Structure 1
Amino acid sequence: MSVREVPFSDIQNKGKATLSEWQRSGARPLRVTRRDDEDLVLMTATRAEQEHEVLAAATAMVGALLHTENRALVRTVVEAAFPWVSYLSNEEAAEFIDELVASMRAGSSLDNPAPIARTIETWRHTAEVYADPELARILSTPSEGDFGTVPAPEL
């Protein structure tokens, strides 16, 4: 789905006209672009509640699917949603699925998609390494010497 965009200045300078046009267009989410900070998304409260309900339903369905004995079906469903899972070993794919469901439950209960997005991003990067044999070789080659303490990543 494409999201319509407007600059933040349109909200400031032509607020009423911009919002009226947005409402006439069906009040689909509107990306408000900013030069000085992260973009914003304008949507109705009803739409936000609907998106939350969809996430909660998807989380429940994936959780129910995982309780089946048919692990092949689970893997098939996850690979359909995330084709890059095919680059992971069976053990890694199972670990990804477990982490995905746990983060979906936690994120849904907190009304925060960040844990889910972080889980998907982390595992996608792992699959990207496996998909590139040269990169996998470089990263799996032991380094020479200790390069000191690695600082914790900023989240």
Structure 2
Amino acid sequence: MLAATEPRPDRTFRSSDLSRLAPKVFAAAEDHPVEITRRDGEDLVLMSKREADARDQLLQFAAQLIAVATDDRGSLAERMSNSFPWMLALSADDRVQCAKDLVDAARASFATGQPHLAIAELTAWKETATALAAGLGRSPVEWLEDGEPAERP
């Protein structure tokens, strides 16, 4: 097992590797951020735009959560509904669950360095609220009996 301070072979490259091993470096950077070490300057990090965008989204989400956490008026669900107005399309119970799920996912993202955990949870709840606002989910569900074939549209 590598110590935390030891460079990982697939995550650390020398600046000269950018020209000698470009496909390998770029393939690694598409999978995860890689460190480019330099003798003549500060080390750099190379990552995909997708990774950089996910980190930016997580920082924006963190800023909103900090604003919610520092406000002392109302419940967590009420404060989060002010920052995320789409939550108002959810039922009161769902707003409470959404607030808890978003905070839990954010904590997991921050603790593991995996922005997709919080972003996926945020997206899922927002899409649920959007669907409810559009009227989906209000009509009763008709279940087919086991073994009953469904008609083609």
More helix by share: 1
- For the pair shown, the structure with the greater C-alpha radius of gyration is 2
